[in-house]
């Protein structure tokens, strides 16, 4: 798997220079920010982690909305682009190069995990989601933004050998939700997003949300 990991990292490093123009410089930024605030909540002291941040689309929006924003990605050139954009816009965001299967965060330290266009790239979804569970605070939430029309429209970034190892490559929102449930997340919901969130590649988006259960204490 290590060889495949390096191949994937190389792919996204190659995309980094032009990725922001394709995906982040969007006319619908305000709509995405509004959706984030609606589902993260009014408490701006929350620590929001953008998983697989890329060039930082969700991390930048979270910071603009006033949250304590953190972004992590394993591709160093993506992280460099994200930092450059944050500096240009005077946003205080902690961007980290790291592995989402071995997160550099303490247990119960993150209020909300957000991700967009990421779940389909995960080799071992349940194992990965358990690691994300570890860093979420009790009552913390995970927000997965996923396109619904992936089967017909998902671009081919990887070799066929790698794509065969991606169990969620063509998954829909119901399948993503089931994966969260299997991993132990609670209060799972699926929200269809407005068509205004769509783009040339993916027209229909959904938000799959789950929660880390608060364990009741016993005396």
In a domain, 86, yes or no: yes
Residues 40-81 have pLDDT tens digits of 999 999 999 999 999 999 999 999 999 999 999 998 998 999
In a domain, 48, yes or no: yes
- CB contact set of 114 (below 8 Å; sequence gap of 6+): 36, 40, 48, 49, 50, 51, 58, 62, 142, 143, 145
Residue whose pair of structure tokens reads 């972004």 in the numeric block: 71
Domain total for the chain?
Answer: 1
CATH code of the domain covering residue 177: 3.40.50.150
Residues 170-218 have pLDDT tens digits of 888 999 999 999 999 999 999 998 876 655 556 688 999 999 998 765 5
In a domain, 218, yes or no: no
In a domain, 217, yes or no: no
Beta strands in the chain (DSSP E): 47-51, 68-73, 93-97, 110-116, 136-147, 186-192, 205-211
77 against 148, higher pLDDT: 77
In a domain, 219, yes or no: no
Give the side-chain half-sphere CA count within 13 A for 215.
6
């Amino acid at each position: 798997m290590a060889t495949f990991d390096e191949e994937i990292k190389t792919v996204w490093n190659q995309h980094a220079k032009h990725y922001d123009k394709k995906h982040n410089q969007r006319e619908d930024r305000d709509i995405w920010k509004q959706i984030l605030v609606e589902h993260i909540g009014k408490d701006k002291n929350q620590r929001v982690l953008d998983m697989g941040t890329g060039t930082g689309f969700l991390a930048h929006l979270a910071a603009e909305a006033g949250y304590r924003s953190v972004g992590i990605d394993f591709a160093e050139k993506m992280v460099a682009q994200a930092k450059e954009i944050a500096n240009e816009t005077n946003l205080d965001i902690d961007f980290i190069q790291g592995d989402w299967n071995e997160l550099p965060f303490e247990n119960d330290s993150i209020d909300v995990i957000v991700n967009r266009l990421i779940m389909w790239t995960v080799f071992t979804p349940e194992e990965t989601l358990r690691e994300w569970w570890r860093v979420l605070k009790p009552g913390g939430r995970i927000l997965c933004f996923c396109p619904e029309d992936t089967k017909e429209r998902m671009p081919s970034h990887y070799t066929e050998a790698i794509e065969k190892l991606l169990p969620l490559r063509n998954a829909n929102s119901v399948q993503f939700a089931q994966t969260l449930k299997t991993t132990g997340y609670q209060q799972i919901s699926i929200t269809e997003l407005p068509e205004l969130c769509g783009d040339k590649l993916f027209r229909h988006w959904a938000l799959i949300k789950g929660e880390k259960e608060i364990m009741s204490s016993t005396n």
